[in-house]
Structure 1
Amino acid sequence: MKVLVIFESMYGNTRHVAEAIAQGIGEAAAVTTVAAADAKDEDLTAYDLVVVGGPTHVHGMSRPTTRHGAVEAAEKPDNPLTLEPDAESDGVREWLASLGQVTGKAAAFDTRLDANPLLTGRASKSIGKKLRKAGFTLVAEPESFLVDKRTVLAPGETERASQWGRALIGTDSA
């Protein structure tokens, strides 16, 4: 089995989750992990499963204005946030918009603030809808991985992401 994990990340949390998902998948399958900004060249027909995730911004997927706002927040004096190298590049929204009709299996994830999803929104829901609209069949319900108010991954989320990766390919016994 070959799996492609595509992610967008502002401060590294979504990248860490994507890497943990890939680690879980990699225990039983060949896995490639790529940033959304670099995913346009991937041949999706070469993969049995495509896993796509990004941060939740303003209740949904990021867009150029919210990515710019994240950059401005990180550049404030005394801010401990560190930007990812491609933080202002095209993200998951743009990658999904570039897809034609495809077939295959997919899964969606996001990172979001650890609060009620009615208050935070969930980018994974929109990602999942766009994947289905493009022709993918989702193999799991969209999943959220949580960050705290300091924008740090909540304890246990990396391990949970790895477990979710194993579950996506049917090798998780938990």
Structure 2
Amino acid sequence: MNDTTPVARAAIVYESMFGSTRRVAEAIADGLRPFVSVTVMKVKDAPEAFPDIDLLLIGAPTHVHSLSRPSTRVEAAKWGDDPERRLTLEPDAEGIGVREWLETCGGTPARFAAFDTRADMTEIFSGSAAAAIDKRLRRLGSHRLLAKHSFLVDKDSVLVAGQLDDAREWGRTIGETLRTTVAV
């Protein structure tokens, strides 16, 4: 086996309303791929358990200081219907969210990392979906590989410049960290 063959396995599960969280998940996967075999999936497609992976990454948009709820996803759909906002709702955005999915999870992998998209302001004012994900996964017995990470959006729910580069770099950091913690 050569040094460029990924040996660890990761899954990225994400929820996205207008595409920003999806794009971040894809960029994280790009950064991870040199180190890890990675699968990216919408939360609606995620299984209840991941018995064959070394790391689970979960990301979601921050709604009302935490994870989305059915009511906040309905509100997001209204934003998508407003032509002045110029937002396109992601397919299945109004379906199951990370909050509900985490309530149905069976066994979780030994390691996880959480990320979110949130408004470009101090976290004390915006809140963090990643903080809620982190808390729930630790309660389920999983261990945090790296501290949660937030990727910022502007008032129009568009990623702030440089956030996708930051996501790729975070993916590389995760890959390097995972490589040193997973026995080869």
Tell me if TM exceeds 0.5. Answer: yes
2:25 to 10, 18, 24: 18
Paired-residue identity, %: 44
Q: Which amino acid aligns with 1:140?
A: L
C-alpha deviations, 1:78-116, integer Å up to 9, x for none?
A: 321001001101011111110134341000000000001
Shift of 1:77: 2.9
Q: Which amino acid aligns with 1:104?
A: A
C-alpha deviations, 1:26-58, integer Å up to 9, x for none?
A: 1221100000111026x4111010000000000
Are 1:8 and 2:15 counterparts?
Answer: yes
Distance 1:144 1:88 in 2: 22
Are 1:147 and 2:166 counterparts?
Answer: no
Shift of 1:125: 0.4
Distance 1:153 1:171 in 2: 26
Distance 1:96 1:67 in 2: 17
> RMSD across aligned C-alpha pairs, in angstroms?
1.4
Shift of 1:73: 1.1
Residue aligning to 2:75: 69
Residue aligning to 1:47: 53
Residue aligning to 2:137: 131
Q: Which structure has the bigger radius of gyration?
A: 2
TM-score, with normalisation over the residues of structure 1?
0.94
Distance 1:13 1:130 in 2: 23
- CA contact under 8 A between 2:112 and 2:145: conserved in structure 1? yes
- CA contact under 8 A between 2:113 and 2:144: conserved in structure 1? yes
- CA contact under 8 A between 1:146 and 1:153: conserved in structure 2? yes
- Which has the larger displacement, 69-78 or 9-18? 69-78
The number of residues matched between the two structures is: 171
Provide structure 1 residue ranges, at least 5 long, that are not aligned to the other structure.
none
Distance 1:103 1:50, change over 3 A: closer
**2:160 partner SS:** coil
**Pairwise mapping of residues 74-113 of structure 1 onto structure 2 (< 5 A)?**
74-113=80-119
